[in-house]
Amino acid sequence: MIIKGSILKKMRIEAGLTQSQLAKLVGVSQAHIAKIESEKVDPRLSTVNKILEVLTSKKHKTCKEIMTKDVIVTSPKEKIKKVNKIMIKHAISQLPVIENGRVIGMVTEEGIVKNLSPNISEKNVENIMEPPLPTVSEDTDLITVRSILRTHPGVLVTRKGKLVGIITRSDLLKVI
């Protein structure tokens, strides 16, 4: 396999590093990293090896490091009125729906808005809940979570099948 500058650039971005940060870790200038990535120079093998070592050995953060613990949940029989108050009070946009210890769905701001009607406040959560968010283990790396969050508003985090946290897009922004 030939290691091209474009591959190194992709790996750097996936690792969440800037050119300057990578340059500092490798011991070269940022300009040199830029030239390597744009394939304007042919780097020495030792430089490529250092870049690969940095990019592949860098420990990525895991879910348990950034997840929101003590997830606020609701039951399918709870009234929308109460859930709405909880969401406003805690400034959250979604709640997992739990029944018999397992997640069976989600109630979201968007779902409430979609189902607005004169009597929505008296309806039960089960009437408007959506499918559950994707679930990952607490040891899942954030690169994986980031790709899931491209298509879902959040990710549920479990330990031995039990809900222990949630990660939303705003949680990922806190990592920056």
Please compute the mean of the pLDDT values over residues 74-95 and round it to a whole number. Answer: 95
CATH number of 63-173: 3.10.580.10
Please compute the mean of the pLDDT values over residues 97-113 and round it to a whole number. Answer: 94
Please compute the mean of the pLDDT values over residues 29-47 and round it to a whole number. Answer: 94
Start-end of CATH 3.10.580.10 domains in the chain: 63-173
Q: Tell me the fold of 5-57.
A: 434 Repressor (Amino-terminal Domain) (1.10.260)
- Residue-wise pLDDT tens digits, 123-132: 999 999 999 9
Quote the CA–CA distance of 65 and 175 in Å, as a whole number: 10
Quote the CA–CA distance of 59 and 147 in Å, as a whole number: 18
